[in-house]
Chain A
Amino acid sequence: MIWLTWRQFRGSAALMGAVLTAVGLMLVLTGPGLADEYAAGIADCAVNGRCDRFYSAFFGKHDLAFLSVTLVALLLPALVGLFWGAPLITRELESGTHLLVWNQSVTRTRWLAVKLALIGLVVMAATCLLGLAVTWWSGPLDRSADDGWALMSPLVFDARGIVPMAYAAFGFVLGIVVGLLARRTLAAMALTLLIFTGVQLAVPLLVRPHLQPPIRASVELTAANVDGFSREADGLGLHLRNQVPTDTGAWVLSSRLADPAGRVMAEGEAISLSGDLALACTPSGPPPEAGRADPMAACFAELNRLGYRQAVTYHPTSAFWPFQWIETGIYALFTAGLAWLSFWLIRRRAS
């Protein structure tokens, strides 16, 4: 049975091996260079002041590579489910070979158990390796990422650490269950993709925010968390970034302006300009000092003195590995449940 599983699987395994080798080679060849570049840049800008500009430049230079690698790590688990899970069953059913192989002296349960275990192990090993390799390679870029590409944000989180392995195992067993129900390859693949995508969208939306209580903080306003100002009819409009200044990799659930009384202001609500504030924040205010002083520094200082803050709810970067483990555990439960279902389905002799 082990020989048969390998013999039927070897084509797919070879393809996967080739893809992983190519990706792996790329990562290994460019990774150290990336790390060196980052280290050098950090050393430079730490001397000179803030590193925002270095981060933006560094990330911007490698954004294409970043996106491709992240995409690969996102797609591979889905493809595994699609191309290895569903056809495992449906190809046998469609060609009639299930009548050949299930009439030898092994029970269907044993047939499925060996296939599930062997291929499942290969899947998990491959995607675990991929996930960890990508996490290592992407380290410098994750640390300099723009907001929107924070390490903890859904798309990036899904492509790092050990969760790709969890998703791949889930996708694989999901494919098998759908294959047992749908019995036709195309229908099974379409359905697997649909359900898998649905789950992948639902979990970050509904489950992940609640894995730990988020941190609620009141942060002073600086250029790090303020995108820009606008002159509104009734005052000053402030556009906040979805970022926490001290933790650029955090997953920001909400980022709003809070007035001196602590009340969270509504979207688009403007700050009324009066007195010192008007003086500090209007363009025609006191001329900037010569040198590198931030033109808006006075405005920020005044706003903070008055008591305006960024009210932010977020999951910090330090929660990365705890979340990875918890989510892997959840998916492990899904996968175990689906595996049990697949054994129950295959024993049901309906046609």
Chain B
Amino acid sequence: MNPVLAAQDLGKRYGRRWALRHCGLEIPAGHVVGLVGPNGAGKTTLLKLAGGQLAPTAGTISVLGGTPGAGPGQLARVGFVAQDTPVYAGLTVAEHLRLGAGLNPAWDAGLAHDRTARLGLDPKQRAGRLSGGQRAQLALTLGLAKRPDLLILDEPVAALDPLARREFLQGLMEAVAEHELSVLLSSHLVSDLERTCDYLVVLIDSRVRVAGETDRLLACHHRLTGPRRDHLPPEHHVVSAQHTERQSTFVIRTEAPIHDPAWTVTPLTLEDLVLAYMAEPVPARERVTLEVRR
């Protein structure tokens, strides 16, 4: 089966600045993929490259086996919900659905109608008057009713209050369960991603630092605490290290068992994991993406 996103040495430059560099990914279909990283790391750039709004400066990217944005067929298979969920302020909810129906051959009018009814969106209400949460739900409805194979969402819940955020994610997950679509979703709120995503891509400083299934990532990253030591065996890849005079704390990535009884091994939360990768600067020569596969 085609990977939902395959990128090789993908890069995007604006003027002199590289927003994304040496990005290599192969994300299998059928997952909810979380793209996590600090602001300015290149998340939006990667998502726009996947959606076809941007063309790469370097490298290649293919989505669902096709070139992003290449034509109506490709556009129909990929849905995109942009940051802050833009909608036409002057158009009503019903008119937005009409927009969707007119511009998408595979439009599912029943789904759109059911969803807006269930969410309590008044069809005659102008979109400019909706609350942030309602706008996000409208944008999500437009994305889902298009019946894409992949739905891309750029920080969809960043500006929402906790209740609206929860409701949005509930709706999204329900749609994933019902329609078996792949989702690629970015956020800098790791806790949201931890519940919803079963595949993660960690993007820091315009590069992919690690990518893989959430369970595997959490299973093979450990925190080691113990007496001061400067080096570890090579099969334990050190992600971050902190030392005091007598104590060392390492975050490592390893498949091998840890036999040394000197270490206290504790598991990491996803947030700890991302923070560990954020703490260390990217090695200058690093070109290989660190991918964890089953």
Residues of chain B with a CB closer than 8 A to A97's CB: 86-88
B173 within 8 A of A: no
B102 touches which one: A4, A103, A350 (CB < 8 A)? A4
Binding stretch for chain B, among A31-39, A104-112, A214-222: A104-112
Provided the pairs A96-B82, A96-B84, A106-B72 are in contact, do residues A101 and B103 lie with their beta carbons within 8 angstroms? yes
Q: Give a binary string over B102-133; 1 marks a CB under 8 Å from any A CB, 0 the rest.
A: 11111000000000000000000000000000
Q: How far is the CA of A102 from the CA of B51 in the complex (A)?
A: 10
Q: Let me know if A103 and B79 touch, CB within 8 A.
A: yes
A4 touches which one: B54, B99, B105 (CB < 8 A)? B99
B142 touches which one: A4, A8, A100 (CB < 8 A)? A100
Q: Let me know if A99 and B54 touch, CB within 8 A.
A: no
Q: How far is the CA of A351 from the CA of B83 in the complex (A)?
A: 14
Provided the pairs A105-B103, A106-B72, A106-B103 are in contact, do residues A100 and B53 lie with their beta carbons within 8 angstroms? no
Q: Let me know if A104 and B146 touch, CB within 8 A.
A: yes
Q: Let me know if A101 and B99 touch, CB within 8 A.
A: yes
Q: Let me know if B53 and A102 touch, CB within 8 A.
A: yes
Residues of chain B with a CB closer than 8 A to A349's CB: 52-55, 69
Q: How far is the CA of A105 from the CA of B103 in the complex (A)?
A: 6
Number of A-B contacts (CB under 8 A): 73
B234 within 8 A of A: no
B103 touches which one: A7, A8, A104, A350 (CB < 8 A)? A104
Query: Closest approach, in angstroms, between the C-beta of B126 and any C-beta of chain A?
Result: 13
A95 within 8 A of B: yes
Residues of chain A with a CB closer than 8 A to B106's CB: 105
Residues of chain A with a CB closer than 8 A to B87's CB: 97, 100
Query: Closest approach, in angstroms, between the C-beta of A193 and any C-beta of chain B?
Result: 25
B58 within 8 A of A: no
Q: Let me know if A351 and B14 touch, CB within 8 A.
A: yes
Query: Closest approach, in angstroms, between the C-beta of A96 and any C-beta of chain B?
Result: 4
Q: How far is the CA of A350 from the CA of B69 in the complex (A)?
A: 13
Residues of chain A with a CB closer than 8 A to B54's CB: 349-351
Residues of chain A with a CB closer than 8 A to B102's CB: 1, 3-4
Residues of chain A with a CB closer than 8 A to B89's CB: 95
Provided the pairs A349-B53, A351-B54 are in contact, do residues A100 and B86 lie with their beta carbons within 8 angstroms? yes
Q: How far is the CA of A235 from the CA of B83 in the complex (A)?
A: 82
B91 within 8 A of A: yes
Q: Let me know if A96 and B86 touch, CB within 8 A.
A: yes
Query: Closest approach, in angstroms, between the C-beta of B88 and any C-beta of chain A?
Result: 6
- CB-CB contacts below 8 Å: B55-100 with A: 55, 69, 71-72, 75-76, 78-80, 82-84, 86-91, 95, 98-100
Q: How far is the CA of A99 from the CA of B103 in the complex (A)?
A: 14
B139 within 8 A of A: yes
Residues of chain B with a CB closer than 8 A to A96's CB: 82-84, 86
Residues of chain A with a CB closer than 8 A to B98's CB: 3
Q: How far is the CA of A280 from the CA of B195 in the complex (A)?
A: 109
Q: Let me know if B82 and A105 touch, CB within 8 A.
A: no
B51 touches which one: A4, A8, A103, A110 (CB < 8 A)? A103
Q: Give a binary string over A75-116; 1 marks a CB under 8 Å from any B CB, 0 the rest.
A: 000000000000000000001110111111111001000000
Query: Closest approach, in angstroms, between the C-beta of B127 and any C-beta of chain A?
Result: 10
Q: Which of A99, A103, A350 has the most CB of B within 10 A?
A: A103
Residues of chain B with a CB closer than 8 A to A101's CB: 99, 103
Q: How many residues of A contact B (CB 8 A)?
A: 22
Provided the pairs A1-B102, A107-B72, A349-B55 are in contact, do residues A99 and B146 lie with their beta carbons within 8 angstroms? no
Residues of chain A with a CB closer than 8 A to B95's CB: 7
Q: Which of A100, A101, A110, A351 has the most CB of B within 10 A?
A: A100
Residues of chain B with a CB closer than 8 A to A7's CB: 91, 95
Query: Closest approach, in angstroms, between the C-beta of B170 and any C-beta of chain A?
Result: 23
B146 touches which one: A3, A8, A105, A350 (CB < 8 A)? A105
Residues of chain A with a CB closer than 8 A to B51's CB: 103
Residues of chain A with a CB closer than 8 A to B79's CB: 103
Q: Let me know if A106 and B75 touch, CB within 8 A.
A: yes
Q: How far is the CA of A7 from the CA of B94 in the complex (A)?
A: 13
Q: Let me know if A100 and B139 touch, CB within 8 A.
A: yes
Q: Give a binary string over B157-197; 1 marks a CB under 8 Å from any A CB, 0 the rest.
A: 00000000000000000000000000000000000000000
Query: Closest approach, in angstroms, between the C-beta of B5 and any C-beta of chain A?
Result: 16
Q: How far is the CA of A329 from the CA of B142 in the complex (A)?
A: 44
B99 touches which one: A99, A102, A104 (CB < 8 A)? A104
Residues of chain B with a CB closer than 8 A to A8's CB: 88, 90
Query: Closest approach, in angstroms, between the C-beta of A187 and any C-beta of chain B?
Result: 19
Residues of chain A with a CB closer than 8 A to B71's CB: 107
Q: How far is the CA of A95 from the CA of B98 in the complex (A)?
A: 20
Residues of chain B with a CB closer than 8 A to A348's CB: 55
Query: Closest approach, in angstroms, between the C-beta of B60 and any C-beta of chain A?
Result: 15
Q: Let me know if A103 and B75 touch, CB within 8 A.
A: yes
Residues of chain B with a CB closer than 8 A to A95's CB: 86, 88-89
Q: How far is the CA of A96 from the CA of B135 in the complex (A)?
A: 14
Q: How far is the CA of A100 from the CA of B154 in the complex (A)?
A: 12
Query: Closest approach, in angstroms, between the C-beta of B101 and any C-beta of chain A?
Result: 9
Residues of chain A with a CB closer than 8 A to B99's CB: 4, 101, 104
Q: How far is the CA of A325 from the CA of B52 in the complex (A)?
A: 43
Q: Provide 28 A-B residue pairs closer than 8 Å at the C-beta atoms, listed in order of the A residue.
A: A3-B102, A4-B99, A4-B102, A4-B103, A95-B88, A95-B89, A96-B82, A96-B84, A97-B86, A97-B87, A99-B86, A100-B82, A100-B86, A100-B87, A100-B142, A101-B103, A104-B100, A105-B76, A105-B104, A105-B105, A105-B106, A107-B72, A107-B75, A110-B72, A349-B52, A349-B53, A349-B69, A351-B14
Further pairs besides A4-B99, A99-B86: 12, Cβ < 8 Å: A7-B91, A7-B95, A96-B86, A100-B87, A101-B103, A103-B78, A103-B82, A104-B100, A104-B146, A105-B76, A105-B106, A107-B71
Interface residues of B (CB under 8 A from A): 14, 51-55, 69, 71-72, 75-76, 78-80, 82-84, 86-91, 95, 98-100, 102-106, 139, 142, 146
